[in-house]
């Protein structure tokens, strides 16, 4: 079977003819569940992928990996039937399955014939024959290879070493194969024979560690540049605003990090495209800047100084300084270098929802991103563009001004089409609805509700009340009146209904049946498309666009128009008798003409959803103006995603010659590579503007992937694939510890604090991981700059160490709040001085204070987040914040009640009056047991911790019996560490994404019988709440529902998702690349009419599931839309957490 493990139409090809050492498909009878080199722990660790990485590192080029089995290896019959047409590197790895049934001369002849055939098929390829792993045909194979002039890699010595074989699999046949050490040794041995053959294919490319990596760097001879006192920057007198912002910033960083003052002078001639950093009078030597690409510059570093020169156009000086900044500020010492650099894309773009401008603009500019598509808030009230008043306008203007200082163009994303929250929140009746033409209702003495909530009515689309036969139309205000209900986004099912009231003097009477003709909006928690046939829609949009253009003066506007889930479905559109394509074309032409009338120089961008070849046969594309930039998006990775990207590029660029900017996803690093590779097919096409970075949530995981995409927006070939893989390994590995992104991003610090407050301590694992993997990154850097001193968050390895240091500092803060410990305090303050050098004076004062009173500064002051003291018991679980469902205050006493008896372990008070407080608890509310007491001083804070105890009622008594307790109280629940067993798993104590205990209990059980997997959920419903139902089968997760997640194979990213809503509707989905047939699922629903609580029972046949149940990983979640999402396993602080099965419980 042909195995194309990574394929790009522009890459070179590594073709391996091999046996199970190269690749073995899953074999249940052997306990082998994977599809790569047998006994390697992952594809990345088998010799074939390791060799691919070495090739890419050495040549700077991408390689497709193709692996085929030979015909009849047992008798050396022949080559594979299917072979690639071309190959650049060929490996023949066979021999261990040869059964020695041939005469020696015949065996020699056949093996040599295989080599000869490969040479004829691929005459210009580099080639290596690999000897057997453990069998005794080494000499025969070596002699044949020598006779054919093919290099030979002898690996027999490794096969004889037991330490090189695997030992962790249940079947001896798998363990016979090389483990990770053996695979690495094979790859090294093959590389010894292969490397000398590469010739002109390419050579190892140096890396600087700068993000984005520079196009060309050359190490020079001579002494390094060492930043010293008396040195300064010299820049043109007409330096731009961004340069005048950046130069003093770099000087300040040199002062903070290196203790060296650097002057900034604007004393070079106006119009000069040069900047120097040197001592006064020093002679610096400039290089000619490249003439290719965009924003080109040359940077020459030598002992006397640093010379930066830029090409005639673009912002090369600015981006050259950003490069210099990253290699200078860490140590102040740079080896002699010549850097020539340029961007492949004119616009390097990041989509943002919203972000604090000071940190995100600085972050984007360091990575040479020069445009931000900014959407702002996803509602019409806070959105900067739809409501440019007060704080909204101030925030937008602040962001634009900060972006401009950082050389970033801001393109407002003014949402049209599917995500029309800006229109819907101004007037929900502008939304596209559903036409109900003949709803029969029987009138009564009281107002009669319409059958559907969220009725919409405008002058263009009134409500009609007709006789039962439809022949008579009654008059509003004469025969009836409409009692308006609630219609607003998110158009929930439980909104107050619209009603029809009979008027006493009209023609309608109680008891009559009438026909209602009306329109309504279905439940829409996300997209809310507007109606393109409603005049009021365009009144709102005309005002919005006029404000955007006149207030903010943008050069670009993105108009959205993605995910239009309804069109031509209400009376306004249907009665116009126009097709969906005609309606969409009218809408887009209106946007284009309106914006161009306001400012003809504005460039318009939009998403590609409505113009794809498979949407209305692609008819819309020919009907919209040619100058609109189309932004196709595909967010996943893998072969299917690659095919979709290729298909869309061929449609827009190849067939229709439209201007495009692709849209890569922050969710999967592999997605960026797919966009890079597929766009390479259209390299040089002026309508190919490259691709952008996008994400649709706020999380460290997403911001952590931005540097990778920034690299490839700047250069499609840098860093090399192997260096990229080494960086990716660090990023993804740290991600499994929950450490990703940027420390200046508050959500990263919040996520770390959440884990530490819950009792986590994985510092030893984190440090060990970095020690193991950092050499692979440092080894690829220019000698002299391979340090961990880069202070910027985009320097991934240095950032990872800094994240580990922050993690350790937070652990120490937790410990030092509980008890004084001089050695821990010394380490704590040393870490703070290292991590936050700008606050050294503050840390010095804090040291002195700790020496006298043994108190450290508050964690909020130090980290910007709260770190709780260590509780009384931390072993075997985590401590979670939980709120009671009822709090009653009396004089001197506070009574708290929880939804059920739960394992409480502590209580914390804030903003409390000074005095003593006593805590007592009870299961039944009758017999109370004293749990502890706390004395609170002037800071108003105190806490009580105790071993976990099952409690439902808690009382807090004050020594002030005549005053009510006004303090904030927070309780700590103890959740035992999740334990997975295939025989029985009882899952309770569900968590919210904030790691607080779920207010509304959910319990799940799972067990395997002889032939089925049985899962049961017991759900406690919130009293008086009407559960949300009625979504389509594709959106059951938006109902009140429970979900079961199952990863069947260790190390796989694919998993099963089973969703069952509170009506028993069920959906089984393959997620994240899970392959194979979906299992059936039998579901039973039991619901209590008295309480509203419900129970779901699921049954899945074991025969239809994959993998060994002992190695499964699972999770259970419960969703109450608008109330609470909760999960059995702790969720990461990231959008789309459900795509990360490493957070499931098990293996």
pLDDT digits (tens, 9 = 90+) for 875-893: 556 677 788 888 999 999 9
Q: Is residue 114 part of a domain?
A: yes
Give the span between the Cα atoms of 419 and 610, in whole angstroms: 13
The closest alpha carbon to 752, from 706, 809, 695, belongs to: 809
Q: What is the CATH number of the domain that holds 404?
A: 3.20.20.80
Token pair recorded at residue 826: 């010394």
Which of the listed residues 609, 640, 658 is the one where a domain comes to its end? 609
Shared-domain flag, residues 383 and 405: yes
Number of domain units in the chain: 7
Q: Is residue 380 part of a domain?
A: yes
Token pair recorded at residue 1079: 């299992």
Instruction: Give, for 415, the enclosing helix (H) or strand (E).
Output: strand 409-416
Given this model, what pLDDT does residue 723 score? Answer: 75
Question: Which pairing describes strands 371-374 and 409-416: parallel, antiparallel, or unpaired?
Answer: parallel
Given this model, what pLDDT does residue 715 score? Answer: 92
Given this model, what pLDDT does residue 114 score? Answer: 92
Shared-domain flag, residues 789 and 913: no
Length of the chain: 1147
Shared-domain flag, residues 783 and 826: yes
Domain of 1084 in residue numbering reads as 979-1143
Which residues contact residue 270 at a Cβ distance below 8 angstroms, ignoring those fewer than 6 apart?
Answer: 236, 237, 238
- CB half-sphere exposure, 377, CA atoms < 13 A: 16
Is the preceding peptide bond at 719 cis, omega within 30 degrees of 0?
Answer: yes
Q: What is the CATH number of the domain that holds 1039?
A: 2.60.40.1190
Give the span between the Cα atoms of 36 and 13, in whole angstroms: 18
- The pLDDT tens digits for 309-357 are 998 889 999 999 999 999 998 889 999 999 999 999 999 999 988 777 8
Q: Is residue 844 part of a domain?
A: yes
Largest CA distance in the chain: 112
Task: State how far the alpha carbon of 520 is from the alpha carbons of 75, 109, 208, 504, 709, in Å.
Answer: 73, 80, 59, 27, 43
The closest alpha carbon to 133, from 38, 214, 54, belongs to: 38
Shared-domain flag, residues 998 and 964: no
Helix extents (H) in 47-137: 47-59, 104-121
Q: What is the CATH number of the domain that holds 971?
A: 2.60.120.260
Token pair recorded at residue 1140: 């990360």
Shared-domain flag, residues 935 and 1037: no
DSSP state of 242: H
CB atoms within 10 A of CB 72: 12
Secondary structure (3-state) at 136? coil
Q: Is residue 154 part of a domain?
A: yes
Shared-domain flag, residues 11 and 57: yes
Shared-domain flag, residues 85 and 175: yes
Give the span between the Cα atoms of 941 and 917, in whole angstroms: 11
Shared-domain flag, residues 983 and 946: no
Shared-domain flag, residues 220 and 272: yes
Shared-domain flag, residues 966 and 996: no
Query: Radius of gyration of the chain from Cα atoms?
Result: 34
Q: Is residue 1089 part of a domain?
A: yes
The closest alpha carbon to 300, from 267, 259, 338, 262, belongs to: 338
Given this model, what pLDDT does residue 744 score? Answer: 63
Residues of the chain with pLDDT under 70: 1-10, 57-58, 60, 199-205, 697-702, 741-746, 871-878, 979-983, 1032-1034, 1132-1142, 1147
Beta strands in 521-632 (DSSP E): 556-560, 603-607, 629-631
Token pair recorded at residue 83: 């072979």
Q: Is residue 709 part of a domain?
A: no
Given this model, what pLDDT does residue 741 score? Answer: 64
Token pair recorded at residue 251: 């000087």
Q: Is residue 1062 part of a domain?
A: yes
CB-based contact 88:13 (threshold 8 Å): yes
CB atoms within 10 A of CB 17: 24
φ/ψ region of 511 (left if φ > 0, alpha if ψ in -120 to 50, else beta) reads left
User: Exposed, middle or buried by CB within 10 Å (0-12, 13-18, 19+), for 526?
Assistant: middle
Tokens 């930066």 map to which residue? Answer: 308
CB-based contact 1121:491 (threshold 8 Å): no
Given this model, what pLDDT does residue 1147 score? Answer: 56
State the angle between helix axes of 390-405 and 357-366 in degrees (0 to 180), rounded to the nearest 10: 30
Which of the listed residues 576, 609, 642 is the one where a domain comes to its end? 609
The closest alpha carbon to 797, from 854, 734, 839, belongs to: 734
Q: What is the pTM of this model?
A: 0.72
CB-based contact 706:350 (threshold 8 Å): yes
Which of the listed residues 609, 629, 656 is the one where a domain comes to its end? 609
Give the span between the Cα atoms of 480 and 284, in whole angstroms: 89
Give the span between the Cα atoms of 164 and 1102, in whole angstroms: 35
Give the span between the Cα atoms of 417 and 1100, in whole angstroms: 41
Is the preceding peptide bond at 814 cis, omega within 30 degrees of 0?
Answer: no
Phi, psi of 725 (to 5 degrees): -65, -40
Is the preceding peptide bond at 980 cis, omega within 30 degrees of 0?
Answer: no
Shared-domain flag, residues 440 and 429: no
User: Exposed, middle or buried by CB within 10 Å (0-12, 13-18, 19+), for 938?
Assistant: exposed
Shared-domain flag, residues 858 and 899: no
Give the span between the Cα atoms of 94 and 22, in whole angstroms: 9
Q: What is the CATH number of the domain that holds 263?
A: 3.30.379.10
Tokens 């968590």 map to which residue? Answer: 991
Q: Is residue 617 part of a domain?
A: no
């Amino acid at each position: 079977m042909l195995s194309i493990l990574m394929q790009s139409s522009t890459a070179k090809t590594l073709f391996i003819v091999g046996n199970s050492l190269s690749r073995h498909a899953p074999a249940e009878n052997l306990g082998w569940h994977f599809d790569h080199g047998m006994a390697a722990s992952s594809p990345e660790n088998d010799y074939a992928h390791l060799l691919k990485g070495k090739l890419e590192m050495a040549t700077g080029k991408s390689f497709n990996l193709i692996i085929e089995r030979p015909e009849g290896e047992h008798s050396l019959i022949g080559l594979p039937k299917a072979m690639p047409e071309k190959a650049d590197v060929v490996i023949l790895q066979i021999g261990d399955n040869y059964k020695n049934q041939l005469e020696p001369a015949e065996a020699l002849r056949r093996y040599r014939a295989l080599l000869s055939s490969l040479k004829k098929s691929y005459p210009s390829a580099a080639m290596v024959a690999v000897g057997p792993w453990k069998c005794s045909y080494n000499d025969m194979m070596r002699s044949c290879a020598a006779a054919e002039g093919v290099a030979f890699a002898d690996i027999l010595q490794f096969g004889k070493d037991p330490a090189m074989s695997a030992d962790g699999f249940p079947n001896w046949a798998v363990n016979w194969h090389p483990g990770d050490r053996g695979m690495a040794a094979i790859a090294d041995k093959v590389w010894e024979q292969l490397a000398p053959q590469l010739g002109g294919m390419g050579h190892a490319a140096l890396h600087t560690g700068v993000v984005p990596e520079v196009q060309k760097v050359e190490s020079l001879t001579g002494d390094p540049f060492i930043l010293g006192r008396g040195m300064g920057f010299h820049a043109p007198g007409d330096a731009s605003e961004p340069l005048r912002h950046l130069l003093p910033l770099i000087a300040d960083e040199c002062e903070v990090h290196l203790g060296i003052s650097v002057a900034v002078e604007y004393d070079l001639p106006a119009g000069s495209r040069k900047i120097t950093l040197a001592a006064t009078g020093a002679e610096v030597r400039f290089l000619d800047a490249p003439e290719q690409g965009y924003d080109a510059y040359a940077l020459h570093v030598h002992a006397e100084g640093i010379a930066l020169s830029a090409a005639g156009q673009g912002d090369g000086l600015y981006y050259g300084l950003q490069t210099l900044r990253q290699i200078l500020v860490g140590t102040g010492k740079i080896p002699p270098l010549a850097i020539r650099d340029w961007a492949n894309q004119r616009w390097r773009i990041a989509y943002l929802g919203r972000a604090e401008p000071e940190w995100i603009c600085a972050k984007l500019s360091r990575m040479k991103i020069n445009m931000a598509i900014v959407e702002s808030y996803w509602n019409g009230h806070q959105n900067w563009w739809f409501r440019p008043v007060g704080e909204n306008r101030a925030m937008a203007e602040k962001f634009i001004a900060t972006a401009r200082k950082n050389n970033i163009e801001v393109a407002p994303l003014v949402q049209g089409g599917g995500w029309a929250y800006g229109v819907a929140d101004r007037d929900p009746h502008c939304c596209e609805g559903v036409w109900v033409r003949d709803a029969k209702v029987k009138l009564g003495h009281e107002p009669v509700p319409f059958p559907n909530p969220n009725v919409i009515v405008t002058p263009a689309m009134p409500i009609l009340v007709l006789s039962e036969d439809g022949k008579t139309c009654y008059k509003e205000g004469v025969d009836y009146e409409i009692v308006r209900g609630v219609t607003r986004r998110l158009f929930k099912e439980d909104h107050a209904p619209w009603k029809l009231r009979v008027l006493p003097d009209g023609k309608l009477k109680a008891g009559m049946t009438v026909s209602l003709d009306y329109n309504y909006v279905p439940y829409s928690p996300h997209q809310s498309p507007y109606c393109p046939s409603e005049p009021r829609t365009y009144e709102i949009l005309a005002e919005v666009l006029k404000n955007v253009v006149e207030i903010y003066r943008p050069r670009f506007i993105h108009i959205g128009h993605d995910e239009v889930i309804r069109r031509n479905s209400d009376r306004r559109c249907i009665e116009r008798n126009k097709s969906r394509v005609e309606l969409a074309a009218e809408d887009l032409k209106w946007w284009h003409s309106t914006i161009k009338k306001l400012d003809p120089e504005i460039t318009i961008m939009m998403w590609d959803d409505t113009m794809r070849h498979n949407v209305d046969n692609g008819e819309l594309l020919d009907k919209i103006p040619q100058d609109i930039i189309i932004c196709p998006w595909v967010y996943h990775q893998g072969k299917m995603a690659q095919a979709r990207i290729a298909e869309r590029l061929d449609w827009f660029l190849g067939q229709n010659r439209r201007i495009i900017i692709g849209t890569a996803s922050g969710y999967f690093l592999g997605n960026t590579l797919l966009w890079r590779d597929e766009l390479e097919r259209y390299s040089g096409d002026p309508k190919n503007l490259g691709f952008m970075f996008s994400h649709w949530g706020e999380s460290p995981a997403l911001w952590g992937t931005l540097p990778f995409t920034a690299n490839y927006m700047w250069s499609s070939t840098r860093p090399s694939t192997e260096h990229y893989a080494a960086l990716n390994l660090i990023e993804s590995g740290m991600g499994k510890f929950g450490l990703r992104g940027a420390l200046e991003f508050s959500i990263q610090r919040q996520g770390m604090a959440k884990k530490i407050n819950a009792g986590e301590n994985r510092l030893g694992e984190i440090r060990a991981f970095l020690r193991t993997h950092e050499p692979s990154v440092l080894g690829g850097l220019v000698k002299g700059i391979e340090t961990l001193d880069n202070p910027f968050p985009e320097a991934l390895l240095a950032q990872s160490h800094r994240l580990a240091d922050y993690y350790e500092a937070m652990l120490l803060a937790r410990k030092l709040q509980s008890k004084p410990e001089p050695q821990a305090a010394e380490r704590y303050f040393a870490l703070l001085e290292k991590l936050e050098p700008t606050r050294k004076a503050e840390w010095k004062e804090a040291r002195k204070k700790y020496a006298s009173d043994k108190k450290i500064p508050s964690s909020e002051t130090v980290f910007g987040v709260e770190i709780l003291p260590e509780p009384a018991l931390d072993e075997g679980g985590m401590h979670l914040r939980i709120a009671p469902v009822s709090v009653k205050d009396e004089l001197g006493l506070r009574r708290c009640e929880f939804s059920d008896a739960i394992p409480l372990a502590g209580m914390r008070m804030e903003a409390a009056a000074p005095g003593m407080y006593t805590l007592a608890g009870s299961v039944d509310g009758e017999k109370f047991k004293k749990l502890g007491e706390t004395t609170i001083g002037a800071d108003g804070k105190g806490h009580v911790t105790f071993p976990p105890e099952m409690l439902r009622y808690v009382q807090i008594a004050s020594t002030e019996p005549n005053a009510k307790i006004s303090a904030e109280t927070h309780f700590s629940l103890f959740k035992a560490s999740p334990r997975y067993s295939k025989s029985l798993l009882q899952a309770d104590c569900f968590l919210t994404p904030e790691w607080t205990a779920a207010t509304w209990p959910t319990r799940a059980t799972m067990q395997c019988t002889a032939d089925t997997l049985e899962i049961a959920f017991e759900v406690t419903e919130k009293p008086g709440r009407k559960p949300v139902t009625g979504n389509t089968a594709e959106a059951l997760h938006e109902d009140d529902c429970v979900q079961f997640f199952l990863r069947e194979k260790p190390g796989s990213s694919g998993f099963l998702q089973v969703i069952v809503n509170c009506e028993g509707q069920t959906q089984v989905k393959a997620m994240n690349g899970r392959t194979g047939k979906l299992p059936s699922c039998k579901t039973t629903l039991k619901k209590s009419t008295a309480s509203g609580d419900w129970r779901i029972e699921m049954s899945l046949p074991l025969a239809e599931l994959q993998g060994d149940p002992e190695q499964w990983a699972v999770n259970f979640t419960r969703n109450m839309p608008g109330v609470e999402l909760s999960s059995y396993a702790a969720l990461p602080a990231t959008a789309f957490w459900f795509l990360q099965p490493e957070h499931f419980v098990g293996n």
